[in-house]
Structure 1
Amino acid sequence: MSESNPAKRTQVLILDGGLGTTLEDVFHQDISHALWSAKPIDEDPEVIISAHLAFLRAGADVILTSSYQCAYTTFERAGYTRDDARRIMLKSVQLAQEARRRFREETLATPRDVKIALSLGPYGAMLYPAQEFDGFYPPPYGPVLSPSQKKTNAFEDTPEGTAQEQAAIDELAAFHYERLCTFADDAGTWDVVDFVAFETVPLRREIYAIRKAVACFGGERMKPWWISTDYPGGRFPETKANGEHLTATDAASAALLDGEETAAWGFGINCTGLEFLPALLEEARAVAKKHLEKHGKRLWLVLYPNRGDVYDPVTQSWRESSGQGQKWAVGFGTVVLDAIAHGDWEGVIAGGCCKTGPDEIVALAKEIRT
């Protein structure tokens, strides 16, 4: 392969694994709470630092803050005041910063540049039960349904439905803008953040809303940011009025091509089974190539699939897969190296989501870096 090949120039960073499930599996925390991994921020901050450190020692270059489920509505439902909610949200970044500081002290002889990504879940993560995988949002964020109607996340294909969808985009944009400003308005916190990750977004209208929120926020203030989408069972959760699912092409186009707002810095897939990635990436790569042709700029790809375990919401337990550790890393490493070889991305950030712990990240780092 020649030096002129763009794949030779592709940057690769290792992301951490599933923070919430690692707190549960490795550090024996009870995260069956509306705040999920945000609960220990205030109650047991050292365990959050320890979890971050475990991933850094495993080889992660980027750690996600424990703020995925942090929003004023979530804290209010859990009995916190607005002032306490803001304090805890900002503290999630401070804990990641402290973990980075301690890691740097440990590795003075062989320093590694560690980045902090601000984790911001979708509006659906603030609901109970959570709606990252179905996208059934209540009005005004989703369609008004009568008790007799089947659940759907699609607005009707009528002028009224189109108007309701635009109103939902506006409301979702306001939600994401308020939360983004909470972190950015504190200079000490915002200076620590290297990336902003809008994660597990199940709806195209929410992708549009995030881009609108970022545009209102101001490009000159914004850090490099990505929108990460999820595909339970290999399908994007949003459907059309006829019940047909939108595709990864639709989701990537919403993040990178459609509309006038600034496109996301990167496009991601998270909380998705590893076996679905190759087909989904083919669609995303085609959109990235169109963006390159239109804007002359390559984008980043962010991949953090699940380990393969299946969650049972009835028993609130996980059915373990056979794909832990080295097996998961080998399979995922092949996907990452293939994405790099195509040369269509400026860089790739690769890590894990639910049930991937430090062991999986150790193995992944070896697969990608050797």
Structure 2
Amino acid sequence: MDDNKIKLLDGSYGFQLNKHLEKPVDHDPLWSSRALITDPEAVIKTHMDYIHVGVDIIETNTYQASIEGFMQYLNISKEESYKLIQKAVDLARMAVDQCEKKGYKRPLIAGSVGPYGAYLHDGSEYTGTYIQHVSEDTLRQFHEPRIDALIKSKVDLLAIETIPSKKEALVILDVVRKYPDIKAWVSFSCKSDGVHTNAGDNFSEAAVEVYESDPAQIVAVGVNCIAPHAVEPLIQPINQARDKPIPLIVYANSGENYDPKTGWDNNCEKLEEYIPTWLNLGVKIIGGCCRVCANYIEKIKDEVDKWEAQRNK
């Protein structure tokens, strides 16, 4: 990846996917990954929506995908579950190939690796409560096969995302080290206090420790799935006293609040207004998370293009 150019990531997969489905994926224990088996064509179209607006990276539809989850909720075997994760990569590649034939830029494919809490389907990736009672061995056994499936399907890199704790991030990276040729980013889910991950770690310290644990494989560290106004205080300390800045990644939500019982509150911030500040703080990969659709990614792209034009004057 070119270190100088800002990379544009896609936005919310589930939110965009809903535009192609009769029944929304919200509240499904498998979230958008159920569509891998029920509506693969919609999965391809969703990827294409983001490629059409000029993203540099798309993520596979595997955030909520796991061997255990597919076995439990789809009643399929371990082998079939593994292959379904690989199918997600195939569908992303089909979208890329179809768009390339029509003259669109070919983006990288990042294999999405969500936290153990996403499999629990209780919102605990936003609290990190499971970290206190789930062992490192359990986390490792959960993540190993899904990471193996993504890498063996030849994703370009891994998107380790919405991770609420340093503990889980380091366990995942321990698995990733078995594949020295793969690159990855690590993005945490954080509290809106501007200091802590959702599990209570100091975010900036955790981000630095995670990056320094393997700078050869980690292309960026940062935060996702958070309101835009909460981003700056989290990332600002990371590069404050460093001669060589750590590359950062940010993909914030629309700014609406989510309650597992009542859903979204429709109170949006103007995410695009925050982008120049984040880029000035060392963000190298930028996109959107919950409720940020392809049209919104176009607005983000416009802001990035303006910032880069100003920088290159």
Aligned to 2:310: none
Pair 233,225 (structure 1): closer, same or farther in 2 beyond 3 Å? same
Residues 1:332 and 2:274 are matched in the alignment: yes
Residues 1:321 and 2:267 are matched in the alignment: yes
Distance 2:28 2:250 in 1: 27
Match of 2:108 among 110, 115, 121: 115
Residues 1:67 and 2:62 are matched in the alignment: yes
Deviation per CA, 1:165-221: give whole Å up to 9, x if none: xxx23432333223212233x4xx22xx11101110001111121121122x131xx
Q: How far 1:274 sits from its partner (Å)? A: 0.5
Contact 2:182 2:217 in 1 (8 A): no
Aligned to 1:306: 253
Match of 1:247 among 186, 202, 205: 202
Pair 309,10 (structure 1): closer, same or farther in 2 beyond 3 Å? same
Contact 1:207 1:254 in 2 (8 A): no
Q: How far 1:9 sits from its partner (Å)? A: 6.5
TM-score (norm 1): 0.75
Q: Which moved more, 1:115-124 or 1:205-214?
A: 205-214
Match of 1:180 among 135, 143, 147: 147
Secondary structure at the residue paired with 1:197? strand
Match of 2:168 among 206, 210, 213: 206
Distance 1:19 1:178 in 2: 22
Residues 1:237 and 2:198 are matched in the alignment: yes
Distance 1:174 1:254 in 2: 23
Residues 1:125 and 2:133 are matched in the alignment: no
| Structure showing greater Rg | 1
Distance 1:339 1:261 in 2: 19
Distance 1:353 1:29 in 2: 21
Aligned to 1:355: 291
Distance 1:71 1:9 in 2: 32
Aligned to 1:85: 81
Contact 2:56 2:108 in 1 (8 A): yes
Unaligned runs of 5+ in 1: 1-7, 145-167, 240-245, 293-297
Pair 112,171 (structure 1): closer, same or farther in 2 beyond 3 Å? same
Q: How far 1:299 sits from its partner (Å)? A: 4.3
Secondary structure at the residue paired with 2:237? helix
Match of 1:272 among 226, 240, 244: 226
Distance 1:28 1:365 in 2: 29
Distance 2:287 2:215 in 1: 28
Aligned to 2:36: 41
TM-score (norm 2): 0.88
Q: How far 1:310 sits from its partner (Å)? A: 1.3
Aligned to 2:11: 17
Q: How far 1:231 sits from its partner (Å)? A: 1.2
Aligned to 2:45: 50
Pair 198,88 (structure 1): closer, same or farther in 2 beyond 3 Å? same
Contact 1:122 1:200 in 2 (8 A): yes
Q: Which moved more, 1:87-96 or 1:260-269?
A: 260-269
Secondary structure at the residue paired with 2:175? helix
Q: What amino acid is aligned across from residue 140 of structure 2 in structure 1?
A: A
Q: Which moved more, 1:331-340 or 1:205-214?
A: 331-340
Q: Which moved more, 1:119-128 or 1:80-89?
A: 80-89
Distance 1:247 1:26 in 2: 39
Residues 1:142 and 2:132 are matched in the alignment: yes
Distance 2:268 2:204 in 1: 30
Distance 1:194 1:300 in 2: 18
Secondary structure at the residue paired with 2:125? coil
Pair 332,194 (structure 1): closer, same or farther in 2 beyond 3 Å? farther
Distance 2:57 2:233 in 1: 26
Unaligned runs of 5+ in 2: 307-313
Q: How far 1:48 sits from its partner (Å)? A: 0.8
Q: What amino acid is aligned across from residue 122 of structure 1 in structure 2?
A: P
Q: How far 1:131 sits from its partner (Å)? A: 1.5
Pair 337,250 (structure 1): closer, same or farther in 2 beyond 3 Å? closer
Contact 2:222 2:249 in 1 (8 A): yes
CA RMSD of aligned residues (A): 2.3
Pair 261,353 (structure 1): closer, same or farther in 2 beyond 3 Å? closer
Q: Which moved more, 1:249-258 or 1:198-207?
A: 249-258
Contact 2:54 2:105 in 1 (8 A): no
Pair 15,28 (structure 1): closer, same or farther in 2 beyond 3 Å? farther
Contact 2:13 2:32 in 1 (8 A): yes
Contact 1:306 1:355 in 2 (8 A): yes
